[in-house]
Amino acid sequence: MTKINGSNHPTRHGYMSEKIQGDYITAAIAKNLLPADAHRMSHIISLTAPRDESTPIQFWQLYSALGQDPIVTIVQNFYERVFADEDWFRSVFARVGGIGHHINTQASMWIDVMGGGPYYHGAEFRLSFHHTHNAIQLMNEKGAKRWSQLMRDTLDASSTVMTDDPRIRTSIVTPKHPSR
């Protein structure tokens, strides 16, 4: 594990990142979670994680700190847990595709949203379609709790692929959307 010494990985907006970033900032301003001028603050709107460890990393800055391989590894570890989980949870994913399908599509979505460029074709329409038509059985409190627990377990087991900067895990675990 290494500390972040600035951006090690080149970034660019993807199909989803710019809109999600803007929506998140707007909602966070409305809830007084970010300052009113956050849309103009370089350390917030940049896709590059700030070097100052007292400044939080936004989820759209994660690619700059981690790069592709750790993100794919985290997603792979998560879906290995999903496909080993109880049938009520696993079956929803298995019906859509095998573990490789989920790793590829979700890694693409994460990289896109985290500042790695345009990887998740179809963007929000595709995401909404899958949640509405393929995963509707899990879009409830029970499914959210199980997903969250599997993600926490994944992150606990993935510390070797993340940097030792504590802002990384915080940014992955708590990107709670201020509109909720």
Domain annotation covers residue 106: yes
Nearest to 154 by CA among 92, 59, 83: 83
Domain annotation covers residue 178: no
Residues of the domain holding 124:
68-162
Percent of the chain surpassing pLDDT 90: 60
| 175: Cβ contacts below 8 Å, ≥ 6 apart | 24, 58, 59
Residues at the binding site for heme are 130
Q: Which helix (H) or strand (E) holds 52?
A: none
Domain annotation covers residue 126: yes
Q: How does DSSP classify residue 12?
A: B
- What confidence score (pLDDT) does residue 128 get? 55
Domain annotation covers residue 27: no
Q: Which two tokens stand for residue 75?
A: 């997603």
| 85: Cβ contacts below 8 Å, ≥ 6 apart | 146, 150
Query: Is-above-0.85 flag for pTM?
Result: no
> What total of structural domains would you count in the chain?
1
Domain annotation covers residue 127: yes
Domain annotation covers residue 152: yes
Band (pLDDT 50/70/90 cuts) for residue 23 is very high
34-43, 96-105, 166-175, range with the lowest pLDDT: 166-175
**Distances from the Cα of 164 to the Cαs of 1, 9, 15, in angstroms?**
6, 17, 29
- What confidence score (pLDDT) does residue 175 get? 54
- Region 133-140: what's the mean pLDDT? 64
Domain annotation covers residue 173: no
Higher pLDDT, 140 or 62: 62
Asked whether residue 117 carries a pLDDT value surpassing 70, the answer given is yes
Asked whether residue 129 carries a pLDDT value surpassing 50, the answer given is no
Domain annotation covers residue 1: no
Residues at the binding site are 130
Residue 113's CATH number: 1.10.490.10
